Amino acid sequence: MRPGSLCDQVYAELSADEQAGARRALLQLVAAWGSYGRHPAVATREELGDESWQLIQRLADRRLVVTGRDAQGRETAEVIHEALIQKWGCFREWMDANRLFRLWQERLRGSLHQWQESGRDEGALLAGRAAGGGTELAGRAWQRT
């Protein structure tokens, strides 16, 4: 069975709300949205949220994602294989539709990690457009997928 056909079958078995949640959760498992291509990424349960984590567990049961723990003991998830990103047509369409939001989100995550490493220095907080730009992007992106 081709990667896309199994994915399409599993996806079709979800309710409409679950499909929307699965799209959002799966997109968090892709990194390197720039000109270097798209590659699997590891996301923590905390980053995904409890509702998304329930969907991730179901997708793991169907072997689309794999869950585990990182060095700090946090629960993690990642796509089972890079072929899922490269070959599943729906997934590629979702990535294209959400590209700008995910680029912004990746930059925000990097800034968050820097802020945490700085001891949460108030001077290192994002402000203005850099901090709030994702809301509009997210709204437009999620509506198209």
pLDDT at 1 over 50: no
79-91 mean pLDDT: 86
Query: 22-45: per-residue pLDDT in tens?
Result: 999 998 898 755 555 677 889 999
44 DSSP β-pair partners: 76
Looking at residue 124, what DSSP letter applies?
A: G
User: What is the assigned CATH class of domain 1-97?
Assistant: mainly alpha
Angle at the Cα of 134 (from 111 to 97), degrees rounded to 5? 115
Helices of type H across the chain = 3-12, 16-27, 45-48, 50-61, 82-87, 89-97, 99-117, 128-132, 134-144
pTM of the predicted structure, to 2 decimals: 0.70
Rounded Cα gap, residues 66 and 76, in angstroms: 8
Average pLDDT score over the chain: 80
What is the structure's pLDDT at 139? 53
pLDDT at 111 over 80: no
List the domain boundaries for the chain. Answer: 1-97, 98-145
What is the structure's pLDDT at 32? 59
pLDDT-derived band of residue 103, with 50, 70 and 90 as boundaries? Answer: confident
